[in-house]
Amino acid sequence: MATSNKELRTCSLGHKFYKSSDCPTCPICEQESKPDSGFLSLLSAPARRALENNGITTLQTLSKYSEKEILQFHGMGPASLPKLRTALEEIGLIFKD
C-alpha cells in the first residue's frame, strides 16, 4: 500500500493544513466560505468554486448558460447538474438551449 506524502502548508490567512496534492485550496478557508443557504450550498466545493470563478453566483446568471457550457468549467461534474436543474426549475428558469 502506497503512503501519501502530505506536506504541511499555510494559507494566506495563517491556517495550517496538510495536503498531498498540488491543489492550493485551504480546506479551512473553504469550509468557512461555504454558503449556508441558496443553490451554491447544495454543491461540492469544486463545483461551487467552478461557478464562482466564472462569475455565476445567482440562478439568473446560471440560466444564461447551457448545461454543456457549465460542464466545461474546471471542477464541475455531471453529478451537480440535477441539483442545478432543480434549483432553476424551482424559480421558473431553465438552462439555455
Residues 29 and 50 in one domain: no
- End-to-end C-alpha distance for the chain, whole angstroms: 47
Q: Show the cell assigned to 74.
A: 474546471
Range of the domain at 29: 1-33
Residues 19 and 39 in one domain: no
Q: Show the cell assigned to 44.
A: 461540492
Q: Based on the structure, what is the number of domains in the chain?
A: 2
Per-residue pLDDT of the chain (97 residues; tens, 9 = 90+): 555 688 899 999 999 989 888 878 888 887 877 788 899 999 998 999 999 999 999 999 999 999 999 999 999 999 999 999 999 999 999 999 9
| pTM listed for this prediction | 0.74
Residues 20 and 45 in one domain: no
Residues 7 and 28 in one domain: yes
